[in-house]
Amino acid sequence: MRYLDTNVIIRYLTRDDETKAAACYRLFQRVSNGREELTTSVATIAEATYVLSSQRGPYRLQPDEIAARLHPIVSLRGLVMPDKRVCIRALDVYAQYPFLDFADALGVAHMEAKGTTEILSYDRDFDRLPEVARVEP
């Protein structure tokens, strides 16, 4: 099994290099068809959201666009990653609450998975989520 790095995801999603995008497409087809299995981490997906959303970068995508593009990749049956369900849920939270960055959306998804509703934080953005109670330490 091989590890999937962020730049492969970015090349595939942005098609900013057609040759590389085509190679990535073929790779994801193999993964989708069960001919290859890859592994990655939530950190890789977090980095992809950062690259795609950065206002200093060329893509500047909105959270809902990013979630829509990453969801099919993360959901691939042949992509193995720890906390995959939490990551998929974090993409949904990220799209639903665009004022959160992906790391915070991931935190909310982890909270949901653990049945936790309170977060210790100084970040007032959490106050805007009805299912989260923010508490300052």
Q: Output DSSP code: residue 128.
A: G
Q: What does the block give as tokens for 131?
A: 């299912």
Burial level of 119, CB count in 10 A (0-12/13-18/19+)? middle
96 and 128 in contact (C-beta within 8 Å)? Answer: no
pLDDT tens across the length of the chain (137 residues): 999 999 999 999 999 999 999 999 999 999 999 999 999 999 999 999 999 999 898 999 999 999 999 999 999 999 999 999 999 999 999 999 999 999 999 999 999 999 999 999 999 999 999 999 999 99
The predicted structure's pLDDT at residue 57: 87
Assess contact for 51 and 59: CB atoms under 8 A. yes
The proportion of the chain whose per-residue pLDDT surpasses 70, expressed as a percent, equals 100
CA distance 97 to 105: 8
Q: Where are the alpha helices (DSSP H) in the chain?
A: 6-14, 18-32, 42-53, 63-74, 84-96, 102-114
- What's the pTM? 0.93
Q: Which residue has the tokens 């497409």?
A: 25
CA gap 66, 49 in Å, rounded? 7
**Hey, what are 21's tokens?**
């995008």
**Gap between the Cα atoms of 72 and 89, Å rounded:** 13
Domain ranges of the chain: 2-135
Specify the pLDDT at position 24.
98
